[in-house]
Structure 1
Amino acid sequence: MKQLFAILILGLLIFTQNQVNAQDNNNDNSDRWERYRTEKVSFLTTKLDLTPEEAQKFWPVYNQMEKERSATQRKRHELEGQVRDAEENLSNEEMIKLTREHVELGKKEANLAEKYNEEFLKILPPVKVIKLYNAENEFRIHMFRKFRDRNRNEDNT
């Protein structure tokens, strides 16, 4: 019964995330990102072994964190592009402003991590919050290896 409930919650979560993503991402990469998100949810669900009650509270908070983290990461990527071109294209005053934006963005990312750490501790036992952080790192490594292996296979064909 517990597994059935977890699967139903996972399905509902994926459906909800699909609806949100369909509205947010109307480009060619949306399918790829959706597969990534679906795989991540499945990976984390397996690693965290959430109870149905925990899952019901955890996933909406986690999805909101991912949305905020994604927005911050997009800003960081934009800023990194500006930094690459700074020496040739910007005045000293503009470069100073850029360095301050870089630092502020780092603070924002740290504040986001702190905020959601506290939210997760309200929902999950500390050991599962630690498992979450470990699982996120494992997932990044998993995806990197998957990408690397796919590229190797394409190079060999």
Structure 2
Amino acid sequence: MKKILLLFIIVFTINVSYSQRGPRGRVKALKIAYITEQLDLSSKEAQQFWPIYNEHEDTMESLKRKERKSVRALKETNGFENLNEKEAEDFLNNYLLAEEEKFIARKKLITDLRQIIPHKKILKLVKAEMDFNKRLLKQLRDRRQGN
């Protein structure tokens, strides 16, 4: 019964996410479904897992937006060729800071998850995320080649 209830909640979340956010919402919904399937969380684990994981995803999305903004600014100046040495140093320092922030966010996620799910499930999460990203990239590549 608990599994059926959990599945219903996931399907409902996917439908709401799918309808509200277009392609990004669809990808997020598919990722949620894939991770749920791979981790096989109990209802208690799921109740504690998803708020932590969603907070992490929001943090990572914010960091990615900041990174894209920085890259767009660089492209507007026609890339690296037009940077002086000080501007290149600043860009490189910002890049390293962004990578460090991503590492800290990832470390926080794992530390928080250690309190609620077994270590094996955390490893399954890491693998599930990698597998999902590979599948997504493959589908995008296949679509581009098909068009």
What TM bracket, shorter-length normalisation? 0.7 to 0.9
What CA distance in whole angstroms lies between the structure 2 residues aligned with 1:4 and 1:109?
Answer: 35
Deviation at 1:91, TM superposition (A): 2.9
Shift of 1:15: 6.2
Give the structure-1-normalised TM-score.
0.81
- Residue 148 of structure 1 pairs with residue 125 of structure 2: no
Q: Give the CA deviation at 1:141.
A: 1.1
Structure 1: which 5+ residue stretches go unaligned?
Answer: 23-29
User: Which residue number in structure 1 is paired with residue 7 of structure 2?
Assistant: 7
Q: Is the 8 A contact 1:13 1:59 kept in 2?
A: no
Question: Where do 1:6-155 residues align within 5 Å?
Answer: 6-11=6-11, 13-14=13-14, 18=17, 22=20, 30-83=21-74, 85-88=79-82, 90-154=83-147
Give the drift of 1:2. Answer: 2.5
Q: For the Cα contact (< 8 Å) 2:13–2:29, is it kept in 1? A: no
Shift of 1:97: 1.6
Tell me, yes or no, if the aligned pair for 1:9 and 1:56 is still in contact at 8 Å: no
Displacement of 1:103? 1.1
TM-aligned CA deviation for residue 113 of structure 1: 0.7
- What per-residue deviation string (whole Å, max 9, x for no partner) do you get for residues 62-117 of structure 1? 111111001111222233344552331x3322222222111111111111111111
Q: How many residues align?
A: 144
Equivalent residue letter for 2:7: I
CA deviation profile, 1:109-153 (whole Å, cap 9, x unmatched): 111111111011112100000000000001011111222222333
TM-score, scaled to structure 2: 0.86
Q: Hey, what does 1:27 align to over in structure 2?
A: none
* Contact persistence 2:63–2:102 (CA under 8 A): yes
CA RMSD of aligned residues (A): 2.2
Q: Which runs of 5+ in 2 are unaligned?
A: none
Q: Distance in 2 between matches of 1:118 and 1:12?
A: 29
Alpha-carbon distance in 1 for matches of 2:58, 2:94: 21
